[in-house]
Structure 1
Amino acid sequence: MPLCYDGEGDLPQSDVTERQIYHRKQSRQPEDVETARKQIASQELWGGPPKNYLGSDIPKVKAYMHKLPLSNDRQTQERGIEFTTPIEVDSYHPHFAYWSGDREGVRNEDGYAKIKVTITFCNQFDEVYIANEQSNAES
């Protein structure tokens, strides 16, 4: 069974509104592939302490609001995942949301904040990557 690519990226849909959908873009760092695989397989998202202008030492799961945007060619969606979660957001910013703290639904472990999610769309990995994963799993 593919980790999260079915040719189109669609996974079983639920009755959620656009407001309840979040997305995360595929990392550009090759070393992040294994972490992404673990997150998708566990239906969890992880986040470390922010390193941008909102930097802190508190681990936070960060996601963008709404569905994945279109890529530069305006024909396909950018690579990543779309998800929903019942976990209450800490705070909304104009384009993203954070989940942090040691509270119901947010687990702090190994330097990461972790939340359970339901992935509703995923085109995170390409077919070649998935084919290699399937071959390794069947061996």
Structure 2
Amino acid sequence: MGQAARAARRRGYRRRAAVTPEARRAAEWDCTRLVHLYANLNDQARWAEVAALYAADGCMTRPTAPDSPVIGRPAILAAFESRPPRTTRHVCANVVIQVQSETTAHGSSAMLLFTAAGTPPLVGGFEDRFVHTEQGWRFAERRGTLTF
């Protein structure tokens, strides 16, 4: 063991078990699917299913309200149910998932939102933290931003 490794161990740093290539690909696929499923369910106004994509203590920050996080599935569901009815189409692209461990991952994606109201499309993105739960991969945090 080299001097740097011994020093790191003394400071409490431990080498994490490596994620196998197969587990990494599976997590990347599952998290990417979650991003796309979120957009589809959102466009279909299937709010309970959207809320179920979050961990029980998950946090959602809408692109239009970046300083107002919504925490926990019940609050996330209530936030979606309080929205006025509208027809939308979310187009997500450039999804990149970075698997950090067997149970955590980070992702980013671009989002384009069209509404039937005739307003100009919104362009933004999401920074996501994912956690693996008993129900599979879920959003631990979904933070939206508007670009223009």
Tell me if both proteins adopt one fold, taking TM over 0.5 as the criterion: no
Structure of higher CA gyration radius? 2
Question: Counting helix residues as a fraction of each chain, which structure ranks higher?
Answer: 2
TM-score bracket relative to the smaller structure: under 0.3
Question: Given the two structures, how large is their TM-score scaled by the length of structure 2?
Answer: 0.25
